[in-house]
Amino acid sequence: MNSFTIAAHTYRSRLLVGTGKYRDFDETRAAIEASGADIVTVAIRRTNIGQNANEPNLLDAVPPSRFTILPNTAGCYTADDAVRTLRLARELLDGHKLCKLEVLGDPKTLFPNVVETLRATETLVREGFDVMVYTSDDPIIARQLQDLGCVAVMPLASLIGSGMGILNPWNLEIIIAEAKVPVLVDAGVGTASDAAIAMELGCDGVLMNTAIAAARDPIMMASAMKKAVEAGREAYLAGRMPKKIYQATPSSPEGGVIGAVHKAA
Amino acid sequence: MLASISLSGTLGILALTTTLQLNGQPLTVPARISLAQLVDRLGYTGKRIAVECNGEIVPRSRYGETTLADGDQLEIVVAVGGG
């Protein structure tokens, strides 16, 4: 019930987590363990030339032998930069094809540039990448990305790192209803209830970083997110009761209440 | 070592040094240095890195046979924390 499949690989956890903004690699690793995530995102950056080459490496703390590493293109503002970054990532990770594409359009909002995202997707799919794509919550763009061959579509819930939660559940529902590939909410989750709502809407998974890393206790929040994603998934599968607007129905029997006086017939 | 002789890399076949652009910064190295030698000088041998030269990925297996030339644009990257 809780396993799901992306690009023919099956994963136990529907919670995907980032590795940014932690105090150190020990905290990173502890939070990932507490989250139960199988898929873990990383960024690709230039080495610091001239600095100690023996400083600890993220991939020692989060080894590819244990986790599925999902390299991202965070910080890229053009399709070309995103494609180059993921080619480097594929070399770095010994030919690993799964990647997270994000092409940004604005440094203040980090809103995705969907035109560049579509361009990069075409190239990456042609080159054999399995593309999980970050996008806006526009159902038409989501469909086009799917049609280009993305293995998962990942609309934002709200702005990256904002913690504002799910701003447009209606659009997400349209995207989910039409999708033939997994839909994951990526970005904007702030707390456990946001993750649960995403899963109750029918998302296949949730990807988050700041909601865990910027919590006062990241490890406890990672645990909370694990439970929220599981709870939301179960609630979705269980099928919620219909909403009855302004129409109460008691849960307890209406008859047999003490003190009631029955008139003789 | 040739590295101690400071000559411009722009002297063509007489050049004793080569100037690269490494991660956006100029770097002067001995002429005819291989990528494997550069990676070693930087302390990255055996580390999880990836290298792009002039926009093309250089597979790890080809560092030894890749000779760097004046003006080559190199990017050397690692995985870092991110979402």
User: What is the model's pLDDT at position B59?
Assistant: 96
User: What is the model's pLDDT at position B3?
Assistant: 44
In DSSP terms, B30 is beta-bridged to: B17
Q: Do B81 and A74 touch (CB under 8 A)?
A: no
Scan for tokens 């690009």, then name that residue: A7
Picking from B50, B52, B81, the nearest residue to A58 by CB comes out as B81
pLDDT, one tens digit per residue, over A13-67 is 999 999 999 999 999 999 999 999 999 999 999 998 878 878 889 999 999 999 9
User: What is the model's pLDDT at position A247?
Assistant: 87
pLDDT, one tens digit per residue, over A129-175 is 999 999 999 999 999 999 999 999 999 999 998 999 999 999 999 99
DSSP states of A83-135: HHHHHHHHHHTTT--EEEE--BS-TTT--B-HHHHHHHHHHHHHTT-EEEEEE
**Whole-angstrom distance, CA of residue A13 vs CA of residue A230:** 9
Q: Which of A26, A81, A91, A225 to mutate to test the interface with B (most CBs of B within 10 A)?
A: A91
For the residues A116-130, what does the mean pLDDT come to?
Answer: 98
* Chain A with chain B: Cβ pairs closer than 8 A: 107
User: How far apart are the CA of B51 and the nearest CA of chain A, in angstroms?
Assistant: 7
- Banded pLDDT at A185 (limits 50, 70, 90): very high
Question: Between β-strands A15-17 and A205-208, what pairing exists: parallel, antiparallel or unpaired?
Answer: parallel
ipTM of the complex: 0.88
DSSP states of B21-83: EETTEEEEEETT-BHHHHHHHTT-TTSS-EEEETTEEE-GGGTTT-B--TT-EEEEEEEEE--
Among the listed residues A21, A97, A100, A263, the single catalytic one is: A100
Q: Do A20 and B82 touch (CB under 8 A)?
A: yes
For the residues B2-29, what does the mean pLDDT come to?
Answer: 73
Residue type at A29 in one-letter notation: R
* Residue B48 sits at the chain A interface (C-beta within 8 Å): yes
